[in-house]
Structure 1
Amino acid sequence: MGLRNLIKRRLAANLGQPSGFWGLFVGQVLNRVNSGPIIGTLSTLDAAKGATVADIGFGGGSGLRILLDQVGPSGVVYGIDPAPVAIRRARLQFRREIREGRLRLQQVNMSQLPLPDDSLDGVTTVNTIYYIDDGELTASLTELARVLRPGGRLVVGLGDTDHLGTVPWRDVMLLRPLDEVVDMITAAGFTISDHRRVGSSSRAFHVYVATAP
């Protein structure tokens, strides 16, 4: 039991800020466990060939492959994550795409994007907002509105709050009511055009699609 609790604590600590061996392990686990939510969320972006998009908080990196396929060889994907271990993993996994200039990695927080105004056609972020406090999340959403072109699409994926309240790592997460999440997105100037569910059980994922001002 002691070992099991230790593993749970290590996994929980690395969900928001992965590092070292445990960070690598968590990235692999999340790619498998969250494959359905990630695919369901990123497919909603429906980026055009040749588009410039970003996956923010890409973690294990499976979403980067989906976006690279969406935008095709003439498009560009920015992979943005504050965790060094996520950046290192992506550099190894996507060496060719980085060399070709199709994937550009940035180790920064969502609230401090080193991108020009109106430079992106779309942005996705999955399972990230639980690890950002209210002030920084407000700044982050405002920053996303800045870098998205007018009419650009923001897609936010997050787990069901009632379900997440039962998971062993809930203590490291900031769980907000869905109405509060919607209010924060719209307060940044976005217009929410769609709210979808990925899955049909009580654990079904929520996907919000919003349009930049």
Structure 2
Amino acid sequence: MLNKGNAATIRAAVEALELTGGETAADIGFGGGLGLDLLLAGTGESGRVHGVEPSGDMVTRARRTHAAALADGRLELHEAPMEALPFPDGTLDGWISLNTIYFVADLAPAARELARVLAPSGRGVLGVADPDWMASQAFTKHNFTLRPVAEVVATLEASDLTVEDRTLTGRMPYHLLVCRPTR
């Protein structure tokens, strides 16, 4: 369900990374795992993909569904929150993280982590649905933190990232916040 409902935005996020092959990329909060598949395809045989997910159940599921990529060393899975990413500084050429910040209580530490792990020439894509649209959905009444897009952009920029807001239209308005390090 996660893959089907979010396929278009996940594809758009991976396309925004402009992968050419050989990169090290991550899907932070990979959910159903479609982003992992698309990153594996985009980074090619010489690339490396990391999946970071706070849910142990989703990590276990991904271990089953991505067994071949794990066995050949192209994929590594991590159970960790966005606020404590398991990478040294500047090691990711790209990352995507879609529909994740609704579950992050304090966005500033997560934004600093996203900036910290991005290589100087890297690019990250944070995806969020329009908060007004989200507020109209019954499912967001339970444990979702909705933030204005301008607030999210300001938090990312305060973490030494430049941000380009690419708005997608479709069944819901959606923002791909394309981030690059300012350093």
Q: What residue is the counterpart of 1:161 in the other structure?
A: 131
Alpha-carbon distance between aligned partners in 1 of 2:153 and 2:14, rounded to the nearest angstrom:
19
Q: Is the 8 A contact 1:59 1:81 kept in 2?
A: yes
Which residue pairs with 1:3 in the alignment? none
Q: Which runs of 4+ in 1 moved over 4 A?
A: none
CA distance in structure 1 between the aligned counterparts of 2:70 and 2:40, rounded to whole angstroms:
11
The CA deviation at 1:54 is 0.6
Q: CA deviation at 1:117?
A: 1.4
> Which amino acid letter does the alignment assign opposite residue 199 of structure 1?
T
**Selected match of 1:48 from 13, 17, 20:** 20
SS across alignment from 1:169: helix
TM score, norm. by length of structure 1: 0.82
Q: Secondary structure at the match of 2:83?
A: coil
1:204 paired to 2:173: yes
- Cα deviation for residue 200 of structure 1 reads 4.4
Q: In structure 2, what residue type is equivalent to 1:169? A: F
**Amino acid aligned to 1:116:** P
The amino acid across from 1:152 in the alignment is G
Task: Give the AA of the match of 1:205.
Answer: Y
After superposition, give the CA deviation of every residue in 1:61-102 in whole Å (9 maximum; x if it has no partner). 011001000000100000000101110111111111001110
Size of the alignment, in residue pairs? 181
Of residues 51, 54, 79, the one that matches 1:107 is 79
Residue 152 of structure 1 is matched in structure 2 by 122
Q: Secondary structure at the match of 1:39?
A: helix
Partner residue in 2 for 1:191? 162
Unaligned runs of 5+ in 1: 1-28
Task: State yes or no: 1:128 paired with 2:100.
Answer: yes
CA RMSD across the alignment: 1.2
Deviation at 1:31, TM superposition (A): 1.1
Q: Which 5+ residue runs of structure 2 have no aligned equivalent?
A: none
Alignment-derived partner of residue 8 in structure 1? none
User: Aligned letter for 2:161?
Assistant: F
Match for residue 50 of structure 2 among 69, 78, 82: 78
Aligned-residue identity in percent: 39
Higher-Rg member (1/2): 1
Say which is worse superposed, 31-40 or 96-105, in terms of deviation: 31-40
